[in-house]
Structure 1
Amino acid sequence: MIRALEAAMDRRALLGMAGAAGLGAALMPKLAWAAAQPELLPKVRAVVERWTGPGRFPGMVASLGLPGREPEFVARGSEGFNDPDTVTPDSLCRIYSMTKPVTAMAAMQLIAQGRLGLDQPVYEILPKFRTMQVQDTYDGSVTALHPAPRPITMRHLMTHTSGLGYTIVQNGAIRRLMTGKGLVPGQISRLTAPGLDWGTPVKGLDHFADRLAEVPLVADPGTRWSYSMGLDLMGRVIEVVTGQPFDVYLHETIFAPAGMTSTWFQVPAAEAHRLTTNYVAIGEVLAPIDEGATSIFLDKPAFPFGGAGLVSSPRDYDRFLRLLAQFGMIDGRRVLSESAVRTGTSNLLPPGVSVPAAFGGPSGFGAGGRVGKGAEAGIYGWSGAAGTVGMVDMVHGLRSQIFVQFMPPDALDLLPEFQAALKADVLAILETR
């Protein structure tokens, strides 16, 4: 009797959450059925089990969340081959570019408050970006330049259409120029070896922004999607507008109110035991490059990298995804405005611009994350350089993720297999009559 009552209460809570999220009445019975099932991820579980163990990965965590229901986590293995601690939803992972949606949503909140404008020129906040020069040829000469025909805007920063370069993307003279100025995207390891050393970053977001303004753009603003340091620069914009250090602002306005207690730019020493090991894939062999106990993420970073600097746990990042799925609300508390979330998870690309196939296109792009089109309409999210992926289905109120630690994430077939299994499990829920 008690179990039946609890199940009924869970279903009522789910239907209430679904209504609050704007989900259609036809979908609610399907989600109510799903909420009563003992397992939502049978195919994902099989993938995780197949890829975890000797000769594969030490451990990984995947999850799926529905409106009104705590996420179902699938966790297998340990936090490292030399770390016997069991991997759990509270293990800490380097999420790299999954930092970008967090930074962008902080900016969208400032836009919703009227403290920034979506199409406001960046130079109004950071005057050194008023007069920018652009390479005549993408990744070509750094002396054959022309004046930018229009200013970089906040929209451009969040959608990678600013024309700003990225040292992990650019080649040739522009890359050498950026690296020489300390304009690197983050940190990987204390080891120095080809592919592991992104360069020595300049210290301080203010110095980072000033030096970035001195580098030519790789494309005219608003004309091309080119993965960039736009969200790192947005961190400095947020500092100037709010008068607070960027990391402090994120903690006070998103992490603490959303109950995200395990997300940091610098992992506290007392939490090092939860930090997983990161690996580099050499063929099918994984070699450790950043072990938890001695991780570079235990050190204070040169500056809080708004594009790639956060460490988080699967449980914490699920709360961020839940915050988006519920249009800014979590645990009965409003953290982000509804307009900030709705606009930020919609397609914000300038007319005529699309995400290239190498980055998941053709598709739209919102505030720091890819926005699906067609059959994927309403899906927003992004991935990280060490194999993490986080997505939210804004139409159905679903959220999903996988946390594993290896670089580069396309070196093995794990993530495509996970995506196929996740799609099958989600379709089984949505197609249930």
Structure 2
Amino acid sequence: MAELDEILEKYTNPETGTIQGASFVAVGKNGDFIYRKAAGSQKANGGTSYPLTLDTVTWIASQTKLTTSVSVMQLVEKGLVALDDDVRGILPVLKDIKVITGFEDDDTAPGGGHPIFEDVKGPITLRQLVTHSSGFRYDTRHPLLIKYSKWAGRTENMFSGTIEGCLHPLIFQPGTSWDYGPGLDWAGRVIEAVTGMPYDEYQQEHIWKPLGAADTTFFPAKRGLTLWDIQETAERGEGGGLEAGRSPWLFECRDALGGAGLFSTANDYVKLLGTLLAGGGPLLSSTSVDVLFAPQTLAPEASAALRTFVTGSSPQKSKSWLWDSDPDNWRDYMEIKHCLCGLVNKEDVPGRRHKNTVNWDGLPNLLWFIDREGGVAATFFTQIMPPDDAEIRKLCQELETALYKIVDSK
């Protein structure tokens, strides 16, 4: 425990540290806490005046996706929907969606030409939505979708806090490739359509209330919270220092978006991780948890696209904390799969997580993993932009290594 304390305190020291505040919580398969601590400040320049706690509300970004995948499996378990159902039969707004393949050249036309579309040639399934193989792609970082948005006069995007910001053409035929996008946001709408419940209400009733997690919501303002009450976003500058920044997410969104919209606390979120590690009750059966964590069969092009997304073009640009900064043959380090809720590493990481560990993260450098073989689940909370921060990676690798000294000694 002392080593974990020292690591967190080193990185969050207000005088010499490189991170304003972070929380790390790990639980065992029997629900026992292996470690839990918050260190530093909840404000970017707060010093010791505004201590971060395990109950500080934080925007968890794409850590929301795990909760939506669990919600999907709840409906599948009840027989209300199937993973391979075509969601266009559930969501009429997607019935006429197209695949965009390019633009006709015309520099004088609005947006620089006219888009070229293909009809969707097969179903868009719930399984594809939660595994990012549906053809949806986040719109603010894809050149073709940026050009389409300009041509179409779109005023909303993935950060608008509305489902309309997720409505745009697909970039490939469903099931043929992989790209990171708003599939889980649409999965949340499927849940609403099938259950007849607003998605926030569904999650409160079927996830957070059973877990006794009272501080998690899509709408913190409706709970009486203000921006001052939540963990502040810090921005790392070119010189490596941190300044108060602006969160890319709206504090008051219109829609409950299942891919990125939740605000939670480390204490709340680890209850979900611990429940899944222990077998799923009361949220899911153990059989459904097995399905949730099972690596999915992807088309060859999809598997290649997934690996490219995760590994990046260099160790420093990798999007995964699986790798050290420059291991030998790092791009071939291990086989990676995708399950219904995140990445699966198919080999042990020496001194750290075991094979078949499932993990995902959140844009402002949050992270979680569930290692069923090792009997441990953990989450790391912070709020630093931009994503894929090198200091966060070093910190999390040190924390994980120290944690497994405890786990493997038992």
Name the TM-score, length of structure 1 as normaliser.
0.76
Give the counterpart of 2:286 among 313, 334, 338.
338
Name the counterpart of 2:244: 288
* 1:183 Cα offset (Å): 4.7
Give the counterpart of 1:220 among 169, 173, 176.
173
Structure 1 residue 367 and structure 2 residue 344: aligned? no
Name the counterpart of 1:239: 192
Name the counterpart of 1:275: 230
Name the counterpart of 1:310: 262
Return closer, same or farther for 1:110/1:396 CA change in 2, 3 Å cut-off: same
Distance in 1, Cα, partners of 2:148 & 2:9:
43
Equivalent residues of 2:140, 2:146 under 8 A apart: no
Equivalent residues of 2:99, 2:117 under 8 A apart: yes
* 1:224 Cα offset (Å): 1.2
* 1:419 Cα offset (Å): 3.3
Give the counterpart of 2:386 among 397, 408, 424.
408
Deviations 1:168-198 (A, max 9, x none): 4312454551894355223xxxxxxxxxxxx
Deviations 1:306-330 (A, max 9, x none): 111111111111001011101212x
Give the counterpart of 2:22 among 45, 53, 60.
60
More displaced 10-residue stretch of structure 1: 401-410 or 337-346: 337-346
Equivalent residues of 1:263, 1:316 under 8 A apart: yes
Equivalent residues of 1:112, 1:339 under 8 A apart: no
Amino acid at match of 1:46: E
Name the counterpart of 2:133: 161
Partner secondary structure for residue 339 of structure 1: helix
Equivalent residues of 1:231, 1:368 under 8 A apart: no
Distance in 2, Cα, partners of 1:311 & 1:398:
24
- Give 4+ residue runs of structure 1 displaced > 6 Å after superposition: none
Deviations 1:93-131 (A, max 9, x none): 111010011111101110111111111111121134344
Name the counterpart of 1:358: 309
Amino acid at match of 1:424: T
* 1:162 Cα offset (Å): 0.4
Distance in 2, Cα, partners of 1:399 & 1:77:
23
Name the counterpart of 2:314: none
Distance in 2, Cα, partners of 1:309 & 1:323:
21
Amino acid at match of 1:159: T
Name the counterpart of 2:394: 417
* 1:74 Cα offset (Å): 2.5
Name the counterpart of 1:116: 81
Residues 377-416 of structure 1 mapped to structure 2, 5 A cutoff: 377-411=355-389, 413-416=390-393
Name the counterpart of 2:210: 257
Partner secondary structure for residue 143 of structure 1: strand
The number of equivalent residue pairs is 362
Distance in 2, Cα, partners of 1:100 & 1:173:
22
Distance in 1, Cα, partners of 2:169 & 2:58:
34
Distance in 1, Cα, partners of 2:114 & 2:26:
46
CA RMSD of aligned residues (A): 2.7
Equivalent residues of 2:85, 2:126 under 8 A apart: yes
Partner secondary structure for residue 76 of structure 1: strand
Structure 1 residue 101 and structure 2 residue 49: aligned? no
Name the counterpart of 2:36: 73
Return closer, same or farther for 1:135/1:208 CA change in 2, 3 Å cut-off: closer
More displaced 10-residue stretch of structure 1: 100-109 or 77-86: 77-86
Partner secondary structure for residue 42 of structure 2: strand
Amino acid at match of 2:115: T
* 1:367 Cα offset (Å): 2.1
Give the counterpart of 2:295 among 330, 347, 353.
347
Equivalent residues of 1:390, 1:400 under 8 A apart: yes
* 1:351 Cα offset (Å): 3.9
Distance in 1, Cα, partners of 2:73 & 2:374:
22
Deviations 1:196-231 (A, max 9, x none): xxxx454xx4x567xx2xx32101111111001101
Equivalent residues of 2:157, 2:165 under 8 A apart: no
Distance in 2, Cα, partners of 1:132 & 1:270:
38
Q: Identity of paired residues, percent? A: 27
* 1:362 Cα offset (Å): 5.2
Amino acid at match of 1:259: G
Return closer, same or farther for 1:180/1:279 CA change in 2, 3 Å cut-off: farther
Equivalent residues of 1:90, 1:274 under 8 A apart: no
Name the counterpart of 2:142: 170
Gaps of 5+ in 2: 106-112, 311-319, 321-333, 349-353
Amino acid at match of 1:79: Q
Partner secondary structure for residue 261 of structure 1: coil
Name the TM-score, length of structure 2 as normaliser.
0.80
